[in-house]
Structure 1
Amino acid sequence: MARRVFAVFVLSGLCQFVDSLYHHQYHFVNESKEWSEAQQYCRATHTDLATVNDEHDLAQLASLVDYGVPYVYIGLYRSWGWSLSEDDDYKEGEPAFWNWASGEPMNHFCGSISSTGEWYATDCNVRMSFFCYDGFAADISERFTFVDLPLDWLSAQAHCRNMHTDLARVRNQLENALLQSKVGSLVWFGLTRMSWMWSDGSEPTFVPWEPLKVQDAGLGDYAAIDVDSSHLGMIERSSAEKRPFFCYSGKQLFMP
């Protein structure tokens, strides 16, 4: 009987230890800042803007805020990146290559490449031809496939993932020049601003949006928690807004 009680005690302690490793120590900063300013503050005084992994984290953050504070920034933000699928040959830490045209990217969420080799942010609903790629093609000349079939960006992505690896991802000037040589007008490739990332570099697996309030607010590139709502959740906000924010301390030892 004593052994059984001891085993239960040890198991309970271990679960609490693992739980404490997984969940961060959060800090509510009741100072109104733009998202980028809040990020700088958190990185200077703690670890980073807060990440949220589950309902436990969400409730813990809400408990730190006094009633009457509607929106509080967290570390979730939208940024430009490449469409990546399970069969992609992307390697973490690869140097980034960018070739935006002057004044770009504008306020659209999908990327296209022009006959000059420059990149443009384009309305995702426009129907255009597109480039797919095969991630493990040994010869660079066989890596990219031009598909002369006008589709919107998401449909082009689905086609490429079904027939190849994904929409084309450009890693360097040589690959960009190869695509440019096959382009007569704007053509879709795999660049997109529809994905979200955490400020500390981790990928989100738990994102409880509030759909109605996202529609009311319009599209924004930064996420806040609506703590003054009957249904606790996240909402998009614009970069110009100044809001209080959550930081976290400690390393994320268990990646989602």
Structure 2
Amino acid sequence: MHGRLFLLILMEQNKSLHFIDNKKMWRAAQSYCRENHTDLASGAEQLNKAVSTFKSSDEPRSWIGLFRDTWRWSDGSNYSYRHWRDVGELPEELSKTDSGTRKCAMTEFNKEGKWKADDCNTRKSFFCYGDEKLILINERKNWDEAVNYCRKHHRDLVSITNLEQQELVQEKAKNASTPHIWLGLRYSCALDLWFWVNDQLVCYENWADDTDTGDCNLAVAMETRGEHKWFKKNYAQMFSFICSLS
């Protein structure tokens, strides 16, 4: 709990929840989440999961994605769920008693995780969420084991068919514990052909210059640092890998 960032994957939604232990005003927190993830955390499932994980933390409260005009969520979603600490936090009650500064909501890290309104210009930690398409598995496996793991627990070993996908994968790969990660690209000696595990054609390439090994038992691993080039590796080598979630 003492690190600068905590990542919690909500696997049932293919979303990630990121605790940012870097105190910011609400608008700055919203901008950070939108630049680095998707938005401030919104909705019952995300917030309940956050509170249940952090209720023993020494951090008392954090920003969430709820703000007041007529209380609405930062990401535009229309969740009807409300979890205010007391009646005085309701919009109609605040409008009677408040000077207008308490327009942003925070969640408290206690047993119930109730919400409270506060001045948006105070500095707090906060939660961001992101729509996840990939997950890094920091376990050393050979290529066949990596494919089987991804198909059992997620969707498949990752395929890269354009530059945008390459950039997403290499960002995930930066946190890998091995110098290379397996990709879902393998070689068929019989067909003398490279193909992705999702059966898509190899229309985008990022090969390193020295990848011609003359071996039939080959699959592709991407370097986790540098230019993130692709290297031909023997199936039996042991690397971390990335699974696609959708």
- Given the two structures, how large is their TM-score scaled by the length of structure 2? 0.41
Pick 1 or 2: higher relative contact order, CA cutoff 8 A, min separation 6. 1
Higher strand share: 2
